[in-house]
Chain A
Amino acid sequence: MKLNRKLWISTIACVITGNFVFTSLHAQENGAVEEFLEKPLEIHGNFSVNAQYYNEDSTIGAPKVPEQMLTNGFANVIITKGVFSAGVRYESYRNPVLGFDPRYKGSGFPYRYLQFKQDGLDVTAGNFYEQFGTGLILRAYEERDLGVDNAFDGIRVKYSTKFGVYVKGLIAKQRYFFNLGPGIVRGVDGLVVMNELIKPFEDSKFKVKVGGSLVSKYQEDDNPNYKLPENVASMAGRLNLSYEGFSFLGEYAYKMNDPSSDNGFLYNPGQALYLSGTYSQRGLGINVSAKSIDNMSYRSDRNEGLNNLLISYNPALTKQHTYNLAATLYPYASQLTGEVAYQADVVYKIKKGSALGGKYGTTLIVNAAKSFGLDSTHVNDLTTTRQGYTTNFFTPGQTEYYQDINVTVERKMVKWFKLKAMYMNLMANNDILKYGGLNGSWSGKIYADIAVLDLLFKLNSKHSIRTEIQGLWSKQDMGDWGTFIAEYTFSPHFFVAIMDQYNYGNPIEANQIHYPYGSVGYTNKSNRISIGYGRQKAGLFCVGGVCRVVPASNGLTISVTSSF
């Protein structure tokens, strides 16, 4: 087989590097070679392919797809031998399924790495994912089903001491589809576990951890109109305390001025604060949290948008719903430019055998979340300092963004019947969430009530039927919805499910549409194949025992996943 010149060069480079590593290890006589030779070679990974055949469906806005069929697929292979490991991922989008960014079109190996771990040292060369603290100023991660992947490509070194001090540093660029973004990201993070550092406190029930990070990005000033900062630093500090059932986590982040297309090229600095407290004991769990964000979009390309090249991570402070009417119609997305949000979550298990708890016990979950715009005042300085506005940090403004109050009750009634019921009251400010506060097509606030009844009938130890009856009632936007799901499972291999989502209360009669969908699946150990046909709305889709995120479509879907 004729191999090209670049391949030969990379072959020689790898052999030289390998020899260098081996020689230097021999010189150190640290036993890495012995360990390497003794340990077995392990190979494993996973595979996923999702092929969709599309029907044109103007009713739901599903366009004609010229290719008729679109496919996403990937395979990860990880090889480990002793202290060394290496991995690659092959990805193919021929062409990307609807809902994925068309710039994914193509195939290749966008992820590959070499890693060495020994005596607390962990070195990665190539691609890696990373998170500092809660991710306020740095998080590289992947959501393959969503097409989100901002992996780093560079060098990372981590070191864990034996006395409770953990440090890591990295220098890298970020993945941008099958290329890399223009900016360089440099970062260091340190964590001190006080109970490990100060020996007398080792067994104390009071645990204290302190952490801090510093991140800087470099991107050339390519803007003809403004003089932009080429290096933008951000820093964060965090504190984590716990005592028996109580725990507290707080993180504050500050970002230097970072004019970008996200903030309209304003020169304001950014800041974020996240606070979370929990208390739990057997049968009771409470979590309350609060967050404020001001101008915290931080990307390795100041001109990018959407999920591309984000360095910072600011998740929504709301419940992540799974019932499709609650999860897919009016979900909340964190507003990077500014928000104040609160959330409380309580899980309580009423004891079994009690009058209220019944024979098997009853679980009660209450969750409430609310978010606002930041209290800010517009400043007319766009031709001078370009600060744009002033804010009162952590002070809610006049604009309400979102509110969700929901209650869930779960109870096993008898051996063969389980009941779960949920009620949710929702307010979503679509002017902000859907139109970013910029568009003239105001739809205002949407108020909705959602109720779900989830019934599980166990026919015998292996056969069961589960049904979901869901309703959403709203006087705004698309009006009322109903969803019905019936799912039959035959453990451990088969499932068959049917579902219909019906927008029966749409104020426009022509839009009173049914979304029927049927699917069958077969699972054998870690191999799984499922076939579905029908209309699907976008969102988190849970059926046959697995949850995944899917875009809107009409047609046939075949999905195969495997882990080995």
Chain B
Amino acid sequence: MSTILIFAFSKKRHMKQTILALGLFLFSTTLFGQARTIPSVEVFDMKGGKFNTSQLDNDGKPMIINFWATWCSPCKRELNNIADLYTDWVEETGVKLVAISIDDARNMQKVRPYVDGQAWDYEVYIDVNADFKRQMGVNNVPHTFLVDGDKNIVWQHNSYSEGDEVELFELVKKLSKRESIK
């Protein structure tokens, strides 16, 4: 695996190296690219305290990790729509939704007033410099991950359309019964 890094670290960038690096990468993903856990990254809770994402946990039950921002309309539509259903979801499956705000210094102080103002019952953290977003490979928000009871990331989805929460909950139900969703 380190071969990829060697290519990346070398100053001269040749086509051959790129092709070889990509080839090695594809080869290695077929060998190892199955398991995926939540990376360890420091984020802030809504009171400004530090929290390490490797501690995200739901006692063996599934988790939804949703990346959003206070300036992102589809994100807020998604989380507001789920908020209407959330009590039932938790009752039926024990699921926990963790909302990761990628608001930076411009808006981070508005996150808690918005979350409380909308009366969300989610666990919310602020990823102020996008470190967690980067580690999770998120291109843009909203982006949703599903984590199974063994804390493996088993599914992800980018963007939100009205009604996506229906599919999401079907998958959560399967995970809560420890069924595969592949």
Contact = CB atoms under 8 A, between A and B. Distances in A.
Interface of A: 1, 3-4, 6-7, 10-11, 14-15, 18, 40-48, 76-80, 85-86, 88, 90, 107-109, 112, 114, 117, 126, 129-131, 134-135, 139, 141-142, 145, 160, 166, 191, 193, 207, 209, 240, 242, 245, 247, 249, 276, 278-287, 289, 313, 315-317, 320-322, 345-349, 360, 363, 365, 456, 458, 461-464, 466, 489-492, 495, 523, 525-528, 540, 542, 544-548, 561-564
B119 A526 contact: no
B157 A207 contact: no
B8 interface: yes
Given A462-B166, A491-B164, A129 B74 contact: no
Contacts of A461: 163, 166
Nearest to A144: B139
B180 interface: no
Contact of B134 (A108, A129, A281, A527): A129
A42 B32 contact: yes
B33 A46 contact: no
B143 A563 contact: yes
B12 A7 contact: yes
Contacts of A145: 140
B140 A247 contact: no
B87 interface: no
A553 to B, nearest CB: 19
Contact of A347 (B84, B117, B131, B155): B117
Contacts of B14: 4
Given A315-B104, A363-B117, A526 B47 contact: no
Contacts of B138: 46, 563
Question: Which 9 residue pairs across A and B have the least CB separation, nearest first?
Answer: A285-B113, A347-B117, A315-B106, A285-B117, A491-B163, A280-B116, A545-B159, A489-B161, A46-B137
Interface of B: 1-14, 16-18, 20, 25, 28-29, 32-37, 39-40, 42, 47-50, 70-74, 77, 84, 104-110, 112-119, 128-131, 134-143, 155-164, 166-167
Given A86-B5, A491-B162, A283 B47 contact: no
Given A77-B25, A279-B113, A280-B112, 20 more contacts: A4-B14, A7-B12, A10-B10, A14-B9, A40-B34, A41-B1, A42-B32, A46-B137, A47-B139, A90-B18, A109-B7, A240-B48, A281-B116, A282-B116, A285-B110, A315-B104, A349-B117, A528-B158, A540-B71, A546-B141
Contact of A525 (B7, B34, B129, B155): B155
A40 B32 contact: yes
Given A322-B71, A523-B158, A287 B109 contact: yes
A462 B168 CA distance: 12
Contacts of B158: 523, 525-528, 546, 561, 563
Contacts of B40: 117
Contacts of A245: 116
A134 B48 CA distance: 11
Nearest to A351: B119
A558 to B, nearest CB: 15
Contacts of A112: 5, 8-9
A523 B163 CA distance: 14
A540 B72 CA distance: 10
7 contacts: A7-B12, A40-B32, A280-B115, A315-B104, A345-B113, A547-B141, A561-B139
Contacts of B166: 461-462, 491
